[in-house]
Chain A
Amino acid sequence: MLDNNIQFSPEALNLVNKYIAKFPEGKQKSAVIAVLHLAQAELGGWLKPEIMDYVASLLNIKPIEVYEVATFYSQYYMKPVGKYVIEVCHTGPCWLRGADELIAYFENKLGIKKGQTTPDGMFTLKGVECLAACGTAPVFQCGMDYYENMDNEKVDFFLDKCRQENKVSRPYPVMN
């Protein structure tokens, strides 16, 4: 079910080839994880089936092989989400230092609950597991960046910055 409107930019395709080149010939399937990240970043922020089918065709693997991977890992979004997905760590060490309060502050500011997206499609608030930043708790991740030692003032600043930038923000491997 290939959709001809779904297509990486030439720069992105170039990156895909670089991801594939990291693996021996015939092992291009290994690149699927990076390519899916890139697809989220470039093709609308979440993995609709047509995008996964496109990724399968690029890597010459079966669509089900892509679905299996995409649904396993928590960084892939299988449903539409906001341009900015705010992933607040809610695991023990962060909880000890105010993760619940941080989440409550976001909920209050955005008028949504954990797991929801703002009606304007700007923000999704998500609780995630330990981000390996417990020493600078509470923390959240958004796109490529980590936001550490968070407090309300920094959250306000962050939200304003996003509203100004206003673009889909997803992490992917950058290469020269």
Chain B
Amino acid sequence: MGIKILTKDIDVPGIQNFQVYRSYGGYNSVEKALRMTPDEVVEEVKKSGLRGRGGAGFPTGMKWSFIDKKSGKPRHLVCNADESEPGTFKDRYLMSKNPHILIEGMITSSFALGANLSYIYVRGELMYVVNILQRAIDEAYANGFLGKNILGSGYDLELHVTCGAGAYICGEETALIESLEGKRGNPRIKPPFPAISGVWSNPTVVNNVESIAAVPYIVNNGGEEYAKIGIGKSTGTKLISASGHINKPGVYEIEMGVTVEEFIYSEEYCGGIWKGRKLKAVVAGGSSVPILPANLILKLANGEPRLMSYESLSDGGFATGTMLGSGGFIVFDETASIVHNLWNFERFYHHESCGQCSPCREGTGWVEKILHKFLDGHATMEDIDLVADVAKKIEGNTICPLGDAAAWPVASAIKHFRPEFEWYVTNPEEACKPGAYYTGDKLVLA
């Protein structure tokens, strides 16, 4: 069993209650941080090597050091609990089972940033989690960990939980800020970045739930201790949401550096492919990252085992690699249709485009429609190149990365599974039969 930081006490009965959480050492990091200076806390987070868990993997300590302190404007910390990337469900798991770890992280992190008004923005579908967090926040206020003059330190913090109402794009940090301001979730044009001008034009840091929940451990044990866990620049532990055709779907806290093979096949984690079938492909970091066939997800191009870490998963670039992303690990067995799944994902991006910028607004719908032709049995060979080209024209030309997120799955599916797309064109009757699946000889299974 690897080390557990975020999920250590998650199954303790009553851990949702303040007293129980506190009796397990909860809120110690607040006491410790309040005896330090804010800059010292930032320094520990820098030393920890913690990288943002929301998808982009940007070093958290560095992000914190960009916040504008000179302007004298109020600062805000906003926790991104919009969790909507298909295949990702770790934040929901953590917040609903152990809400206080997030509240504690929010207090400690807000102190480091000099924020006196902070928010947790939760996707609207997770209203029951909003209500769990609200209760935890109320308890923290009642026990003097929130509000004016926390523990007599002179530090004031107001913390609130707010909700969305159904929009994946509100996970993009500037769209989230717009939504928090009570507007449509249209991403802003950057610069200015939130660290200079965020919520109500005030300097703002947006961090993922899991990033913030790691802060108490870092403050309690020191950044260096945290940096010892993991591998290379992938320090610490990571919550992986495992779904799809595996025996044991669920959230697993792994120490970075576990091999992909161990993660998929060991009893400690996914427990192998279900129904005794073979592995066909994996989307390793949420729907937006490139899909990899079995051989490439298990091994690097040089034959070494691939590891669950930022560096190893992206080894080989987009030619033979992918990304850790949000840690949404979706597994496909030999019967899964890559073509159908791609259409499904593209329907998602089409549905979720905010519609502000032309390439994404028009392109995502176009891509979905072309892909649907494959499922209807009407696609031509030209459609394979056309859909790849349309996706390529979206990529890099949009306001926010949703355009890229919509394009990458198309490019990678066609790159690695082209014969399957061709099969839909040449054998539409067979391919479109319910239950049929591609068994072509170019398919690599594991």
Contact = CB atoms under 8 A, between A and B. Distances in A.
Contact of B86 (A37, A92, A146, A171): A92
Contacts of B345: 91-92
B182 A73 contact: no
Interface string B9-50: 000000000000000000000000000000000000000000
Contact of A95 (B168, B179, B341): B341
Contacts of A24: 117, 200
Contact of A137 (B126, B167, B181, B243): B243
B interface: dominant SS: mixed
Interface string A46-80: 00000000000001010001001100111110000
A146 B163 contact: no
Interface in B59-97: 83-89, 91-93
Contact of A131 (B125, B181, B354): B125
A68 B356 CA distance: 13
Contact of A176 (B83, B138, B185, B332): B138
Interface residues of B, number: 62
Nearest to A73: B165
A173 B134 contact: yes
A141 B344 contact: no
B3 interface: no
A128 B128 CA distance: 18
A93 B125 contact: no
Interface in B173-193: 179-185
B241 A36 contact: no
Contacts of A32: 182
B137 to A, nearest CB: 10
B167 A74 contact: yes
Nearest to A175: B134
A91 B250 CA distance: 17
B224 to A, nearest CB: 33
A114 interface: no
A89 to B, nearest CB: 9
Contacts of A173: 127, 130-131, 134, 161, 163
Interface in B236-290: 241-245, 249-251, 283, 287
User: Size band of the A side of the interface?
Assistant: 35 or more
Nearest to B244: A96
Nearest to A19: B162
Interface string B336-348: 1000110011001
Given A75-B165, A134-B89, A22 B160 contact: yes
A34 B119 CA distance: 14
A133 interface: yes
Given A171-B124, A174-B134, A175-B134, 12 more contacts: A22-B162, A31-B182, A33-B179, A36-B165, A68-B184, A69-B182, A74-B167, A95-B340, A132-B83, A133-B92, A135-B250, A174-B131
